[in-house]
Chain A
Amino acid sequence: MQTLALYAGFGLVTASILCIGAIGFTMQFGISNLFNLAFGATMTAAAYMTYLCNAAGLDIWVALLLGSVGGAVLSYIVNRGLYSPFRRRTPSLFAMIMVTLGVGLIIQYGIEAIWGATDLSYTMSTGRSLHLAGMVLTTVQAIVIAIAVGAAVTVHSLLRYTRVGKAMRAVAVNERLARNCGIPVRLVVDGAWLLSGALAGVAGVVLVMDVQVLNSNSGSDFFILIVAAAVLGGIGSPYGAMLGSLVIGLVAEVSAGFLNPEFKDVTSFVILVVVLLLRPTGVIGSVASAKEVAR
C-alpha cells in the first residue's frame, strides 16, 4: 500500500506535466483543426531558452517565465507563418500533418545542430523532500503540481467566464459561424496559439526540472504521452486533456513501479492505440465528433 502511494505521487507529478502540455496541444487542435506534431519540439525549444537564461545567471523560476514566453512567440510565428497559410491553401489534412512534422524536425535538429547531443541541466535546487500521505515529493515537484493546477484553473476560468475564452470556444466549434457573428477570428486564433505556446513552454521547462536532464530529444520523447493524454480525454477538449493526463500519468508510473519500469511508455502507447480503435473521440468527445475525426 505504501508503494502504491509512492508511485501515485510520481504519477501525480507526471500527470501535472502532461496536463500542462495536453491542454496546450488539444487547444491547438480545437482552434486550428490540426495535430501539431511540432509541439514536442516547441517544448524542447522553450526548455533550451530557459537554459540560456538560467546559465546567464537568472533564477530558474524567472527563466521559466521567459521560456514560456519563448514558447508562446515561437508557436505564434509558426502558426502565422506556416500553418495558417497552408490551411487556407489546402484542405488536405495529411499535408498539414506533414507540414507540422517538417517544422518539428527543423526545430528539434536546429537545437541539436547548435548544442550537440550532450545532456545539459539547469542550475537549481530541487528543494527538500516532502512527505505527504505516503507520497515522497521534492519541493520542485510539489510546485510543478501546483503550477499544473493553476494552469488548469486559469484555462477553465478563461474559457468559461471571459469573452476571449468564449470566442475561442466558438471558433473551435464552427469557425465560419463565429466569423459571421462578428468574432475577430484571426485575433482569437493568434491568442489561442500564444496561450497554447506558453503552455508548451511551461511543460517543456517543468519536464526538465523533474527529470533533471535536458537534451534535444526531451520534448519529443514526452510528446507521445501528451498525445495519448489528449486523445484519451477527447481531442479538442481542455477538460478531456486534464482527465486524460491524470489517467495516463497515474497508469504510467504505477505500472512502471509494479511491472517492468521499461514498459512505462509502452502501456501508454497501447492505451492510445486502443482508444483510437475503440473510441476515437475519447472520453469527452464533443469537439472530436464535431470535427469528424472518426466516421
Chain B
Amino acid sequence: MSSAWQYYVATLIVYSFVYIIAAAGLNLQFGVAGVYNFAYIVFQAAGAYFTAVFSLGRPTSSGLQTYILGLHLPFPLPLLGSAVIAGLLGVGIGAVTIRRLRADYLAIAMLVISLIATNVVTDTTSLFNGATGISLVPQPFTSLTSSATGYDWIYAAYAGFVCALVLLALRVIIRSPLGRSLRAVRENEHAAAALGKNVAGLRLFVFGVGGAIAGVSGSILVSFTQAWAPSSWLYGETFVLFTALIVGGVGSNLGPILGALLVPVVLAEGSRYLPQFGSPTLVPSLEWIAIGVILIAFLWFRPHGVVPEPKRRFPQQGQRPAVTVPELSGLLDGSVVREEAR
C-alpha cells in the first residue's frame, strides 16, 4: 500500500471513530434521555479548542495566532482536561432545559445558543484566534515513531481505543437502572416525576456526560488534524449527527455506530471517490441535499432507524412465583379480554 493510500485509510479510520464517539454521546442525550440538544456541536468544539490551547505553548507576541491559556501540557492531560470542561459546559447550557419548553421550542433555543457561540468565538479573536482558528496544534506521543505513516496508524489505534472505552461506559449506563430511569423520563416526564425521579437532575447528568463525550470526540479530531476553526463546527454539523441517529437508530450503541458510519462517513468521504464535476461547491451541495432527503425519507418510512431500540427482557429465575388467587387471575384475564371492545 502506498503511503498516500495508507494516510487516506488511516484518516478515514480516525474520522470514523470520531463520528462514532460523537454520535454515541448524542445518543445518550437524545436517544436515551429524549433531550433535544441542537447545540451539541458546541461541546465538540469546546473539546477541540481546549485540547488545542492545553497542548500549545504560550502564544508569542510575534506569533500569527492569539489564544487563551497555552499550557503546553503533556498527553493525556489535554484530552482529560478538555473533556471535563466540555462536560461542565454541558451542565451549564443544560440548565436552560430546566425551563419547561416544548420540544421544538427548546430545539430552537439550543440552535440559537449554538449560533451565539459561533458568533462570539468568531468575533473575539483573543479567545481562539477568531475566524482563522487555531493551527499547528502539537500531536501527542510523537516520540513513539519517526515515520509519518506509522504515526497515523498508531493514532488510529488510539482513537479506536478511546472509542471502545466510551462505548463500553455508555453500554453500562444504558443497561443499568439509571438508563431505565432516563428512558422513563424520555417517555413521560410527569409519570417519572410522580414515581420519584429527579427529572431536572437526570437531564443535567446527560448534558454533562454527553457534553464530555462530545468533547472527547473533538479532542481526538483536533490532535489529528492539528487545526480547528469556526468553519469546523457550524450548526449544520449537529443536524448531520441527528440524521445519523435517526438513520441508524437510537437507544443502543449499535444504532449510533451504524448511523455514524452511514451518514457522516459515507457521505463525507464517499464524495472523494466521485470525479470532480461541476463547480467545487456542487458536490458538497449535493451531499447536503442528500442529507435532507435521507432525513425526511427515514422519518416517514422508518422513524426508528435501521437498528431500533432493543427490547429488554429479563431471564426467568427457577420456579415461577405461586399464583395467589386462581379465580382472581382467571377472572381478570377474562375481564381484560372484554376490555378490548371498549
Contacts and interface: CB of A to CB of B under 8 A. Distances in A.
Interface stretch (A56-64, A107-115, A160-168, A191-199): A107-115
B102 A292 contact: yes
Contacts of B70: none
A155 interface: no
B105 A269 contact: no
A96 interface: yes
B291 to A, nearest CB: 6
Contacts of B102: 93, 292-295
A227 B236 CA distance: 17
A294 B299 contact: no
A294 B279 contact: no
A165 B36 CA distance: 35
Contact of A109 (B99, B120, B239, B285): B285
Identify whether the interface residues of B are mostly helix, strand, loop, or mixed.
Answer: helix
Given A103-B292, A105-B239, A117-B281, A224 B104 contact: no
Given A102-B296, A265-B119, A269-B119, A276 B239 contact: no
A262 B124 CA distance: 10
Size bin of chain B's contact surface: 35 or more
Q: How large is the interface on A (under 10, 10 to 19, 20 to 34, 35 or more residues)?
A: 35 or more
Contact of B99 (A86, A97, A98, A294): A294
Interface stretch (B18-26, B109-117, B163-171, B328-336): B109-117
A105 B105 contact: no
A127 interface: no
A213 interface: no
Contacts of A292: 102
B289 interface: yes
Nearest to A116: B279
A270 B293 CA distance: 32
A35 B292 CA distance: 17
Nearest to A92: B103
B32 interface: no
A57 to B, nearest CB: 26
A127 B210 CA distance: 54
B59 interface: no
A293 B289 contact: no
Interface in B98-155: 99-105, 107-109, 112-113, 115-116, 119-120, 123
B116 A276 contact: no
A269 B288 CA distance: 25
Contact of A106 (B105, B108, B281, B293): B293
A82 B103 CA distance: 20
B64 interface: no
Contacts of A117: 279, 281
Contact of B285 (A101, A113, A294): A113
B325 interface: no
B96 A277 contact: yes
A95 to B, nearest CB: 6
B246 interface: yes
A266 B293 contact: no
Most A Cβ at <10 Å: residue of B99, B108, B242: B108
A294 B112 contact: no
Of A92, A94, A105, which is in contact with the most chain B CB atoms at under 10 Å from its CB? A105
B191 to A, nearest CB: 15
A204 B119 CA distance: 23
A185 interface: no
A109 B292 contact: yes
Contacts of B116: 266, 269-270, 273
Contacts of A113: 278, 281-282, 285-286, 289
Contacts of B109: 272-273, 276-277
10 contacts: A90-B303, A92-B103, A98-B242, A227-B108, A273-B112, A276-B101, A276-B112, A277-B96, A277-B109, A294-B102
Given A101-B239, A109-B289, A294-B101, 18 more contacts: A96-B104, A97-B103, A101-B292, A102-B291, A102-B299, A105-B236, A106-B292, A108-B288, A109-B286, A109-B288, A112-B281, A117-B281, A262-B123, A266-B123, A269-B112, A269-B116, A276-B108, A277-B96
Interface of A: 34-35, 82, 86, 89-90, 92-99, 101-106, 108-110, 112-113, 116-117, 224, 227-228, 231, 260, 262-263, 265-266, 269-270, 272-273, 276-277, 280, 292-295
